[in-house]
Amino acid sequence: MVLNRLTFCWLAVVTIFLSDVSYSSVGRFRDVFNANMLLKSWRRKAEEQRVRLFDRLPQNIESKYTTPQVIANRGYTSETHHVTTDDGYILEIHRIPPKGTAKKVVFLQHGVLQSSGTWLVNPSSRSLAILLAEQSYDVWLGNFRGNKYSRKHATLNPNSDEYWKFSWDQIGNYDIPSVINYILKTTGQSKLSYVGHSLGCGVFFIAMIKHPDLNAKIELMIALSPLSSFANFNAIFRALTPFTDPIENFLRLLRTRVFLDSEVAGDRLFDIACEQTYSQARFCREVFILVCGPNRKNLDPALIPLMNANFMTGTSVAVIAQFAQNYNAGETFQAYDYGTEGNLQKYGSTKPFEYDLTKITAPIYVFSGAVDRIVTAKDVDWLLTKLRNLKGSTRFNEYNHLDFIWGTDVKERLYDKVLDLLSSS
């Protein structure tokens, strides 16, 4: 009995001791585990804070400004003018008047889906509009009908289908002549120099062909990545070009009037997807590169908010469709294709009207990019064979479609040459 009691006491002591050891081990393990989890949580929060602190894209207030506000923010005076075309569209154009006596008048015309602010995306040190103003040129910035600045009409409501029935042809036949004549009348000059980018060149060609008298009013035309033939278009959207007619008909069925207008929903989408962090901005830069051509190092991701603010500013479905039509047509520069019956009524032929580029007599200097996927080197080569008053041509091996307006090296590589050409013309 005593043995049993003694044995029980020893067993109890051993059990208590082992229980204490087991408890202490589990407790220590739990404390270490909790400490590790807490440390990981702190590290994660620190990394998130670092990303927020160092990856955060700086907010550029100019991305919320209008073109006149940007000009004022850069320290220059601006004027807003309104030009009514012969078919009733009211265009808003912006002017940076010269400081003192003007050297010459220069008109800058943006490309498709952009606005006058396109020329002010880059900092003043490499913005063509500001560089010209700094040298006392009388600078005028155009806006195509239908974009956010030029969405008015003498009689038509911009919410009506009728307002949006325009293509390259109407912009070239009405907008460009009206603006050129207005600027010359306002300034009292007999000639001006014209700098266009992409479609801003294509509509100039149309204007010179449809209005031969305008050629004598052009001191020099400088063509940056000039649109004409679209046969070798090489961007990702090329796969959609065979389906132009059904897509256009479908959009008409949906009563889609304005195409790619960021003011509908795009501004908020761009803000969320592209403009919060450098990582997002670099991703959106890759999208631009995919469409327009390589050379990513020449686009500053910090400028993405300003690029987006002046991109997708709206145009008609027909303007976009005409790109695909010209791609499908091969090496030509043709008017809008209304279909067999529509062409017969419009042109007296089953085929669309082809613009004869050899009729342009205005002096032209062409700049193009070897890796441009929108206006390819092959299409520019075709254009060069048609121009009868070509003053010269320069091709940049690394330039894509956007480098001409937003490139980080554009001042040294391109605009210095442009300024030399303008001063010597």
Active site residues: 198, 372, 401
CB 274 within 8 A of CB 284: yes
* HSE-CB for 31 with a 13 A CA cutoff: 6
CA distance 191 to 203: 18
Residues 6+ apart with CB under 8 A from 126: 407, 408, 410, 411, 415
Q: Are 240 and 247 in contact (CB under 8 A)?
A: yes
Q: Which residues contact 92 (CB under 8 A, 6 or more apart)?
A: 80, 81, 82, 143, 149, 150, 152
Q: Show the CA angle centred on residue 192, arms to residues 91 and 207, nearest 5°.
A: 55
Residue 221, H or E segment: strand 218-224
Can you list the pairs that 409-417 forms with residues at least 24 positions away whose Cβ atoms lie under 8 Å?
409/298, 410/122, 410/126, 410/128, 411/125, 411/126, 411/131, 414/224, 414/367, 415/126, 415/128, 415/131, 417/367
What are the backbone angles phi and psi of residue 227, rounded to the nearest 5°? -80, 135
Number of residues assigned to the chain: 425
Give CA–CA dist 122/329, Å, rounded: 36
Task: Note whether 260 and 321 are within 8 A (CB).
Answer: no
Give the end-to-end CA distance of the chain in Å, rounded to a whole number: 125
Give Cα separations from 274 to 111, 159, 266 (angstroms).
22, 29, 11
